[in-house]
């Protein structure tokens, strides 16, 4: 079976984005993922400028290659859904939700900034899960989920929310590449036990559009969520 290879690119300059994208296409990539990883730390850079940078990079790469192009997004836009829509309008064939920003820690012994890379945990699926559920069926693009996959359970949840593809990095680094088979077999077992005939039937079944209570994904549920909290040691 031929496995499509998707090139993931994180450029800096315009030429860097386009030259490497072209190189990936020529090398046989089936698609390109643009990882626009930037921390808008400059106090004079506006959100509009940051958003435009994403759109400009996409437009430049779109002009350069003819294979599908996906954008890997930051989770921290003011208007995530609108940004997603604008990227799709500008030609994004896929959106990858989300980039996981590296958050440095402080080493209190050395009094140094410690930019160590930690593996994700399943608890981290919630933010991408929420946005995939909200965006599923609303945009003419593919949605890929990334962050927090460790077992097939997170794969199932992402698919139910509406992901077209699910990515995993930490789990493969933690358990080795054979873990892919564990994920796949776990998913197959789960589908069989619940009598789902296919992944297609699962996909988006619990997206915001398809659940009985769409508000459960939004603020209307906020108060209810707070009220449902019970302190672990409450009398």
Residues forming contacts to ligand FMN in the complex (CB under 6 A) are 8, 10, 35, 72, 99-100, 117, 120, 146-149, 168-170, 173
Shortest Cβ distance from residue 148 to ligand FMN (Å)?
5
Shortest Cβ distance from residue 10 to ligand FMN (Å)?
6
Nearer to ligand FMN by Cβ, of 6 and 50: the residue is 6
| Nearest CA-CA partner of 174 in 153, 148, 150 | 150
The C-alpha R_g of the chain, in whole angstroms, comes to 19
Shortest Cβ distance from residue 119 to ligand FMN (Å)?
6
Nearer to ligand FMN by Cβ, of 148 and 162: the residue is 148
Where would I find the H helices in 90-167? Answer: 126-135, 152-161
Shortest Cβ distance from residue 133 to ligand FMN (Å)?
18
- The contacts of residue 199 (CB under 8 Å, 6+ apart) are 159, 187, 191
Spatial separation of the C-alpha atoms in residues 71 and 35, rounded to whole Å: 6
Nearer to ligand FMN by Cβ, of 35 and 210: the residue is 35
The pair of structure tokens assigned to 150 is 């460790």
Nearer to ligand FMN by Cβ, of 18 and 146: the residue is 146
First to last CA, the chain: 59
């Amino acid at each position: 079976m031929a496995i499509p290879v998707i090139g993931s690119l994180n450029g800096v300059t315009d030429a860097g984005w386009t030259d490497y994208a072209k190189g990936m296409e020529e090398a046989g990539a089936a698609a390109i993922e643009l990882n626009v990883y930037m921390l808008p730390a400059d106090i004079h850079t506006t959100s509009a400028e940051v958003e435009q940078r994403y759109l400009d990079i996409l437009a430049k790469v779109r002009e350069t290659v003819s294979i599908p192009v996906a954008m890997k997004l930051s989770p921290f836009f003011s208007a995530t859904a609108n940004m997603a829509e604008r990227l799709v309008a500008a030609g994004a064939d896929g959106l990858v939700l989300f980039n996981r920003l590296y958050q440095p820690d402080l080493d209190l012994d050395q009094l140094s900034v410690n930019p160590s890379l930690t593996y994700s945990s399943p608890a981290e699926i919630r933010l991408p899960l929420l946005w995939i559920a909200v965006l599923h069926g609303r945009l003419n693009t593919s949605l890929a989920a990334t962050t927090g996959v460790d077992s097939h359970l997170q794969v199932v949840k992402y698919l139910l929310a509406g992901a077209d593809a699910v990515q995993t990095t930490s789990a493969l680094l933690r358990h080795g590449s054979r873990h892919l088979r564990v994920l796949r077999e776990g998913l197959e077992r789960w589908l069989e036990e619940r009598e789902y005939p296919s992944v297609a039937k699962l996909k988006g079944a619990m997206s915001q559009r398809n659940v009985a209570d769409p508000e459960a994904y939004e603020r209307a549920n906020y108060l209810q969520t707070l009220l449902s909290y019970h302190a672990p040691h409450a009398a």
